[in-house]
Amino acid sequence: MFNHVLIMAAGRGRRMRPLTDKIPKAMAPLKGSTLIATRIKKISNYFNNIHITVGYKGPILANHVIGLKVNSVFNTNNKGNSWWLYNTLMSKINEPILVLTCDNIFRINFKKIYDEYIKLKSPACLLIPVKPIVNLRGDYIHYSSNNIINKISKTKKTDLYCSGIQILNPFKINNITNPTSNFISVWDQLIKKKQLKKSNFILKKWYAVDDLLQLKTVNI
């Protein structure tokens, strides 16, 4: 099973303004708690090492998570969502880690996706897809019959898009890609190496919290 999970929580959350003028998106309220505290609580029994990235209002978020069984906090200094992959101690980890985002609510069987990662010959990165949702913008996954992804597109639609959940091996990625600050660029490099795959496991219960209306909906 996984030894490490990293939650990306460095984003600005512009579509949640004016709430995020005062707090980071990860601290948006969720049923008496916050988005990120709820996520940490739900996964804390499954992982030995929980890591968080912060950026926008980083000190506020770091103080918020420091008492929540978090092992490390990486300040990206707003340098992009994949900056941590090349510029922190995470880059030395030579085993699969689970990467999540703070603004998605979902149910997933961690052992099942880990086993599938191994079955698919442990690629540098495995994306866990979701079925497209009406009026929700996403990165569409173009893939071949052997699970190899050959294109990620925001405009050319397919039957799957990225859920924000991925399994990756930081050491492998550092060995076959050039450092970049954006996961789209990471994925493009991995596509050329045939090291980006999609899971056969498709999330059925998944909800994105990108704006104030969606936040209100999940708090009902």
The domain spans of the chain are: 4-218
pLDDT category, 134, cuts 50, 70, 90?
low
Instruction: Please say if the pLDDT value at position 105 is more than 90.
Output: no
* Predicted pLDDT at 135: 65
Instruction: Please say if the pLDDT value at position 6 is more than 90.
Output: yes
Q: d(Cα 96, Cα 183) in Å, to the nearest integer?
A: 17
Highest mean pLDDT among 45-59, 128-142, 178-192: 178-192
Average pLDDT estimate for 143-170: 90
| 105 half-sphere exposure, CB direction, 13 A CA radius | 16
Superfamily classification of domain 4-218: Spore Coat Polysaccharide Biosynthesis Protein SpsA; Chain A (3.90.550.10)
Question: How far is Cα of residue 140 from the mean position of the Cα atoms in its chain?
Answer: 16
* Predicted pLDDT at 128: 94
Mean pLDDT of the chain: 89
Share of the chain above pLDDT 90, in %: 46
Instruction: Please say if the pLDDT value at position 166 is more than 70.
Output: yes
Q: d(Cα 176, Cα 194) in Å, to the nearest integer?
A: 11
* Predicted pLDDT at 113: 93
